[in-house]
A = this chain, B = another copy of it.
């Protein structure tokens, strides 16, 4: 762990203000299972932020848990979820949604995003008793590739879903970096209006754990808490989740933390670009996918920790660099200096 660390955005504990709040409230006696004051206050803050007083909010522990809860609450047994073939819910959750009985119908996507044209063909299954009935479109923002939905894209997709009786569900495990990402033109309230259910990720943005699931569609709201309990996702000390979101939401701390992660990534991205290396996808948030020669990668690995995302050919691969609210300026500077050094050397 001595290396400069760019493997993910959940390798540290939490923002110090959360530790302070935990200490200050530690001996306050609160009701369990989410009926504590902090959870109530957090939920009120969220409803106010999205300007939807009737939205329901549920705090849960993580993204996989949020995804399986939403799918199992919203879908009847024969209904399916539509996702990009790169969708986290399809490839990185050990079949969590399928374990609740639902098929995920996947469609190809090069940038991690879904559009009406990429999913329209699945509507032909409607009414065919031999096929699952697609009912919910799963998107993530930022996507697994760090790309963002524009207001225009999300508006078109939302209209398509509503015209076709599909729920639209946004996995927001990395929503804060999307909201503060380069070129983003979507606000929280706008997203809440365009989708039926989404969540704001805390785990990857400064919390010890926690995702805030926000539901605006009445059919998905109904009975959701029973589902949370039944799937083992209801914490006895729900205060732990409520209090953390209270910290993150007050003064928009969650956006400040995300902005910081994005800024540090942007600084590294600028340097990579300046040195002439391309990207697998154009950077917009705290995830960078630069394409580098294998020799460069090997040398970077001596001092920096990151994942090799995808070999491209015999000589090059895309790596993944992730910054977070906790990444230090020093780590970024060290990475940049090393990359410059390697690049310069190879020119000689």
Q: List chain A positions with a Cβ less than 8 A from chain B.
A: 1, 5, 8, 10-14, 16, 19, 22-23, 25-33, 60-69, 72-73, 76-78, 80, 91-96, 98-104, 129-133, 203-204, 208-209, 223, 225-237, 239-240, 326
Contacts and interface: CB of A to CB of B under 8 A. Distances in A.
A166 B284 CA distance: 41
A77 B72 contact: yes
B233 A94 contact: no
Given A12-B26, A230-B78, A236 B19 contact: no
B61 A77 contact: no
B236 A95 contact: no
Q: Which of A1, A32, A226, A233 has the most CB of B within 10 A?
A: A226
A103 B96 CA distance: 9
A208 B12 CA distance: 18
B31 A240 contact: no
A32 B10 contact: yes
A62 B34 CA distance: 14
Nearest to A32: B10
Contacts of A239: 13
A31 B11 CA distance: 6
Q: Which of A131, A225, A230 has the most CB of B within 10 A?
A: A230
Contact of A130 (B28, B80, B209, B229): B229
B133 A230 contact: no
A223 B29 contact: no
A182 to B, nearest CB: 25
Contacts of A80: 95
B11 A78 contact: no
11 contacts: A8-B32, A10-B237, A12-B30, A14-B22, A33-B130, A61-B233, A78-B99, A78-B223, A91-B131, A98-B98, A103-B104
Nearest to A80: B95
Contacts of A32: 8, 10-11
Contacts of A76: 223
A94 B131 contact: yes
A68 B232 contact: yes
Given A94-B129, A103-B98, A30 B1 contact: yes
Contacts of A77: 72-73, 99-100, 226-227, 230
Nearest to A331: B29
A240 B104 CA distance: 32
A264 to B, nearest CB: 15
Contacts of A66: 232
A255 B119 CA distance: 43
A19 B232 CA distance: 25
A140 B140 CA distance: 35
Contacts of A30: 1, 11-12
A325 to B, nearest CB: 11
